[in-house]
Structure 1
């Protein structure tokens, strides 16, 4: 890629982008800009790179002059655009003033009682009890409950269920439980019937957001933007959709005389993907509706509209084969809470029950011995190489002998602290001395006594064999057991989240085209690299 200097171009700023990465609306705007400007010159690379439709594929003898005049230059299918060339075509955007954000987080709707409702029946046929099955270390339903709570939009968050285990998991995520009746818990029962029963039992509710438990990549901002359509724009119902580029054909009976026909294309004029807007289909993530519609037996009706989600956030789990795919997707695009994982600067890890399996062996000479896995030692080394300080904790409830503690400290190269029954209180002075807060900390514990630390930490985990009260408090539950790779697994998880956050910071959101200036990236699939050079 060739980067042209600002001294040559004499424009305020220049950025490079890959035309093929844009969504359909942005491509239309680019083509319109080029077709309306008779002076536009786009240089087509000799290796076959395409210029946008409507643009002259000719070479200009003075490309830098052409770039200044039109704002567009192409090299190897990447196009350089002066921000002014796009900004002239777009309405002005309100910029931050006096340090205030343009779009502050939405608060609860005034005058309306808005609730989130997640339906979680215990009789799932595809995957038994899939709503509480662990996905990337978190119960499936926990992903959407976390997003709903952190959005700050709802007067209350509810789980409608007929199963005791699901109810307990819901409560551990601070959700209220609505015990649905047997009449709406059958295999033949519909979601609408369960929602109507909830509305009947809670007549004070004005708006219900039915969130699907099987949509683990839902984020608070998705819910916030959708609710605005009801509270500010006056819509009665809003539902989530995703854009798909799939050609559909009519299904015919095998062996019959009927032939198939296309449903959404003309085979004689088969469009290229980038020239077709695609179709909007429901992705099932959420449905907002007023209770007046629900009482009439309608979930989508009245003045209704949709909220379009990006494909990477549109995940729906229905069968076991979806699980590994969803797990990889949620590790990359899932919502992990208000605290960005990249701020983790310190990791607390308990010795007994995390780094070791909790057993102490006594030899014939009455020497105490513990064992650890070499993979876990490598995990600690990986963290320290990425400038994450590691502190090992020796608990008074299950203490390891002082001689062993000293040997482990030397072997791992980590500081070892002693803590009592309340690790949170014991560690607070240490954090204060380091000038750190709990949001800057990753914590690995293995018992109920660690619950407060697990809850308060920016990232937290427990081994795969930890008791239920510790699992409920942790943000991540390892597949590996204590002393057998759990520490390595959590270390890799921490580094993965740090790397993803770093990658997102290095990208710029496609909204720069909509506004005429660059904005910080939110990590969408349409984010593009930005090469900026200027005064």
Structure 2
């Protein structure tokens, strides 16, 4: 069973400039994910894709087995990440000299996941035979109770109606926030049709404390607090 890990890190970021290289407890944010993937022992190759030469240099310094210069067509603000992942995967397979069975993408901005989370998500894919697995945590807001949409006319309505009146968030169907921490795909399915949702997509639940996805300054400050606590608890 051959597994390739992709890590995609653009040089540009509107919400938090240079966030992929921002220092987190003594090393770049990117480094945490590379070192975690390496320490897991789950992958035949760890490949980092970026449009930034600086990021690729940092990736090699922290142990990436292969780096991929991302084409402009996959680097813009409107480019879908799945196509960058596929480009990285195909380049990595060429370098490895064989095709993978499973591709796992780890997001740089969600470093609080554990090696156990990665292994469990892969195991869910292998045991279920599903095309892919996504990860997330229980949602703080429910589309059936307190998540609203505002129309062009200014009218606010619940995002989703239920057949029964939901008077407490806990009474609605369980809802989850995707945390971008781990994406796992069957290789052939993904290469043929790179998507996040298929008819039989499976979900691996992670706790909220391991589900911070950094996009703002506040996110990063919270990440530092939780990362420091996670490290203290592991020693």
Fold conserved between structures, TM > 0.5: yes
Q: In structure 2, do the counterparts of structure 1 residues 283 and 181 end up closer, same or farther at CA, with 3 Å as the change threshold?
A: same
Q: In structure 2, do the counterparts of structure 1 residues 135 and 297 end up closer, same or farther at CA, with 3 Å as the change threshold?
A: same
Paired residues in the alignment total 225
Unaligned runs of 5+ in 1: 1-111, 337-496, 503-535
Q: In structure 2, do the counterparts of structure 1 residues 266 and 135 end up closer, same or farther at CA, with 3 Å as the change threshold?
A: farther
What are the Cα deviations for residues 285-341 of structure 1, in whole angstroms up to 9, with x where unaligned?
A: 1110122222223243264211100111001100123221111111113xx5xxxxx
For the 8 Å contact 1:147–1:218, the answer to whether it is kept is no
Asked if residue 183 in structure 1 is aligned to residue 73 in structure 2, the reply is yes
Larger radius of gyration: 1
Tell which has more relative contact order, 1 or 2 (C-alpha 8 A, sep 6+). 2
For the 8 Å contact 1:115–1:154, the answer to whether it is kept is yes
What is the aligned counterpart of 1:283 among 158, 179, 197? 179
Identify the residue that residue 155 of structure 1 maps to in structure 2.
Answer: 44
Unaligned runs of 5+ in 2: none
Identify the residue that residue 326 of structure 1 maps to in structure 2.
Answer: 223
Identify the residue that residue 308 of structure 1 maps to in structure 2.
Answer: 205
Distance 2:158 2:184 in 1: 35
Asked if residue 127 in structure 1 is aligned to residue 3 in structure 2, the reply is no
What is the aligned counterpart of 2:128 among 208, 211, 233? 233
Give SS of 2:108's match.
Answer: coil
Distance 1:178 1:272 in 2: 44
Distance 2:78 2:158 in 1: 33
Q: In structure 2, do the counterparts of structure 1 residues 319 and 230 end up closer, same or farther at CA, with 3 Å as the change threshold?
A: same
Asked if residue 297 in structure 1 is aligned to residue 194 in structure 2, the reply is yes
Cα distance, 1:252 vs structure 2: 2.0
Matches within 5 A, 1:93-104: none
Give SS of 2:217's match.
Answer: coil
What are the Cα deviations for residues 364-405 of structure 1, in whole angstroms up to 9, with x where unaligned?
A: xxxxxxxxxxxxxxxxxxxxxxxxxxxxxxxxxxxxxxxxxx
Cα distance, 1:232 vs structure 2: 3.3
Q: In structure 2, do the counterparts of structure 1 residues 268 and 230 end up closer, same or farther at CA, with 3 Å as the change threshold?
A: closer
Identify the residue that residue 260 of structure 1 maps to in structure 2.
Answer: 157
Matches within 5 A, 1:136-175: 136-175=25-64
For the 8 Å contact 2:11–2:18, the answer to whether it is kept is yes
How well do the aligned residues superpose, as a CA RMSD in angstroms? Answer: 2.5
Q: In structure 2, do the counterparts of structure 1 residues 272 and 194 end up closer, same or farther at CA, with 3 Å as the change threshold?
A: closer
Distance 1:261 1:322 in 2: 26
Q: In structure 2, do the counterparts of structure 1 residues 245 and 180 end up closer, same or farther at CA, with 3 Å as the change threshold?
A: closer
Cα distance, 1:228 vs structure 2: 0.8
